[in-house]
Amino acid sequence: MITCFIRYEIDPFKKEEFAEYARNWGQAIPRCGADLIGYFGPHEGSATTAYAVYNIDSLAAYEAYRTRLMADPLGQENYAFSKRERFILKEDRIFLKNVSMPHGALVKP
């Protein structure tokens, strides 16, 4: 299992457009085969930084997932929406492996 972290630089005046984009991926990404953890938009601090995080079995599974995502009607519309509205200024993607597992049980004070 690998985790994809996407760091976005977004237009601070188009946070609602980014939120709509995120909600659309919230439907399309799981349908196309990735385990979406979530999209995270600005709340406090930076008004231009956002993230997306999802798990996928392997880089080979990622390639198949991307093919399905590009063929998905909502995926196609979401790509077009981001290009048309230009709320994403920069996007960086990295794949990481969780090396801290297994975790201990959560203790609430």
Given this model, what pLDDT does residue 23 score? 98
Does residue 97 have a pLDDT over 90? yes
Average pLDDT of 25-44? 96
Does residue 101 have a pLDDT over 90? no
Q: Can you tell me the distance from the alpha carbon of 57 to that of 70, in angstroms, rounded to the nearest whole number?
A: 19
Average pLDDT of 42-56? 95
Does residue 7 have a pLDDT over 90? yes
pTM: predicted TM-score of the whole model, two decimal places? 0.89
CA dihedral over 62, 4, 30, 100, signed as positive or negative: positive
Asked whether the beta carbons of 59 and 27 are under 8 A apart, the reply is: no
Given this model, what pLDDT does residue 45 score? 87
